[in-house]
Amino acid sequence: MYGLYTPIFLLQMFCVYHAYRNNAEQRWYWLILLFPLIGCIVYLVHSFNNRDTISAITENVKGVVISNYRIDQLEKALRFSDNVTNKVNLADAYAELGRYKEAVDLYSECLTGFMSEDPGIQMKLLYAHFMNGSYAEAIAIGDRLEGERYFKDSEERVVYAWALYRAGKTEVSEGVFQSMNKSFTNYFHRLEYCKFLLDLKKQTAAQENLRKLLDEFEQMQSSERNLKRGILRQVRDLYAENFKK
């Protein structure tokens, strides 16, 4: 009953809010409140005769419902069994939803005892600290991990480099970015390095590095290029935005 009630209630609240914002007639409020599911469907069909708009609204509502339900289940699991696995799972979900402070708290709780040096949790905590604006804390973790093989070419090391930059340690940050600037690998890292160079107004260096990336993509087999089409699109967009005037 609870699982069914939550999405219907959220849909009902959306319809009431939309009706209020659009000065809907009083009859729509009664329909939505007295017949939650059917009333909402009728109201949406009446208010949005564009199928794409209805689909977009449905997907947004579904996303909120699923996210809330997932968080609720993970919180219940943690209350039932307070262990590292449940804490990390909940912290991951918090981070996905942008609740970084809560994620930081849970990741930090996990780094005790024999798990105090766990590299995976430390890197998750580094990312959460950065996204929470806690650059000093992110840097402290990155400093501890520097030199470790598993951290050398990780995406979290890119976050570490950005944290250094945000904290005003530009030269150190650039050194970290440059150490990950390797041909035919580290495509995400190198894209971020180009963004870093653009932020420093180093247009020539940024253009040169973006051109190298594009040339490498052209040399790939189509199957490999398809696997990296997301990052390729970002590289092309960044190049077009800054150098195709």
Measure the CA–CA gap between 157 and 173, rounded to whole angstroms.
10
pLDDT for the residue 11: 78
pLDDT for the residue 219: 92
pLDDT for the residue 177: 97
Question: Could you tell me the mean pLDDT of each successive run of 10 residues in the chain, 245 residues long?
Answer: 56 80 77 78 69 56 62 88 91 90 95 88 96 96 94 96 96 97 95 96 96 94 89 93 82
CATH superfamily assigned to domain 82-169: Tetratricopeptide repeat domain (1.25.40.10)
pLDDT for the residue 54: 53
Task: Quote the pTM value.
Answer: 0.74
pLDDT for the residue 65: 55
pLDDT for the residue 19: 79
Q: Could you write out the DSSP letters of every residue in 21-40? A: HTT--HHHHHHHHHSHHHHH
Q: Where in the chain is the domain with CATH 1.25.40.10?
A: 82-169
